[in-house]
Structure formats: C-alpha cells, structure tokens
Amino acid sequence: MALFTRAASVPASVAVPETWTPEGTIVSQRYRALEGATVLVYTADADRGTTHHAVACLGCTHRADRNTAGNVMTEAEAAKAANAHATACRAMPRGVPARPDDTEAAELIRTRLQARRYGTAPHPVRLSDFNGLRVDLQRSTGWIKALLASLAQADPGFLAAAPVDSGQGVRFTVQPFARP
C-alpha cells in the first residue's frame, strides 16, 4: 500500500469555487483566504436598478449582507469586508455548497421571515433581506417571489401580500405574533 496516493481527478462538469456563480447572483469579485477558501462578493439578480452586495466565504460559514452600521452594503463596502475576512480566515476550501432541494430552500426563507415577527408592527419584506442567504439558497429572484406569494396565500396571518401603490408588483409584510 502506498503511503501517498494521488487524488482522483475531478470531472470537468463539476463547478469549482474559483469560477462558480450561485444561481440568483452576480459575482463581481473573488478573494482567496489564507488556506485557499474562496470569498465571494456578489449581488442578487434583482430586477431593480439598485444593487445591494453581500459576502460569502465558501470555506467557513461567514456570510455578511450588512455593514457595521446595519445598512445594506455597496460593492465597495462588500469588497472591503470580503478582503478583511479573507486576510483572517484560515478555512480550507470546501468546494461548492450543495444546492438544497425546494423544501430546504423554502425553510431557509421561512426561518428568516419568522425572525421578523417579534415586535408589534408588521415588518416589510425586501428582496435584499435574502442577499446573505443567496449562496445557500441558490435560487433566482423569481423563485423567491413565487415562494413569498405562496406563503402569503397559505398563511396570511404570517405573511401578508398587498399590491404596490403603482399597481405593478406585490408588497409583502411579515405579521407580528398575535398578542393576547
């Protein structure tokens, strides 16, 4: 038995972190962490003119979609955050994360929305609320909107839907827990 063996070659059809772009995102920058993990700076494939950027490390669990002030990040802020993470992260490359099935992806979104139910007022839902999850979701903006619509139809006490004032589109709000 040989002490060292050569690893099996990876098929060309398998994505590698250096070139992988998660579904529903546009990757604008990639950084290399200390031990080789890839750190992505990305934005959602939104249908609006404004872009909000996020950071995801493919070696550890680091995800960031807000700056230190709690606001959504610009590309420059996300690049600075990605570079800071890459210079400190010692994670080994883990490869491309597995794409969750639709049930798991829906649960990720539902969990994110559930955290917004605390308080006494309805909480508006924005697509940018899911930017930090996009690498884990691996779903398009259209898929997220369709899921929100089905959640609102199935449980309006949890997520309410109303037409936007302009008449084009739907506004979603997470409803607070019912108070006795």
pTM metric for this prediction: 0.83
Torsional class of 104: left (φ above 0), alpha (ψ -120 to 50), beta (otherwise): alpha
| 17, 93 contact by CB (below 8 A) | yes
| Res 57: pLDDT | 96
Region 147-152 average pLDDT = 96
The fold adopted by the segment(s) 102-174 is Arc Repressor Mutant, subunit A (1.10.10)
Residue 146: pLDDT over 70: yes
Question: Are the CB atoms for 112 and 130 separated by under 8 Å?
Answer: yes
Alpha carbon separation from 68 to 73, 78, 172 (Å, rounded): 9, 11, 26
> Which pLDDT tens digit goes with each residue over 77-92?
999 999 999 999 999 9
Q: Tens of pLDDT along 30-75? A: 999 999 999 999 998 665 666 899 999 999 999 999 999 999 899 9
Q: Domain limits of the chain?
A: 25-88, 102-174
Half-sphere exposure of 9 (CA within 13 A, CB side): 3
Q: Is the pLDDT score of 173 beyond 60?
A: yes
SS (H, E, C) the chain: CCCCCCCCCCCCCCCCCCCCCCCCEEEEEEEECCCCCEEEEEEECCCCCCCCEEEEECCCCCEECECCCCCEECHHHHHHHHHHHHHHCCCCCCCCCCCCCHHHHHHHHHHHHHCCCCCCCCEEECHHHHHHHHHHHCCCHHHHHHHHHHHHHHCCCCEEEEECCCCCCEEEEECCCCCC
Phi, psi of 178 (to 5 degrees): -65, 130
Task: Read off the pLDDT of residues 121-139 as tens digits, 9 standing for 90 and up.
Answer: 999 998 888 988 999 999 9
Residues 6+ apart with CB under 8 A from 68: none
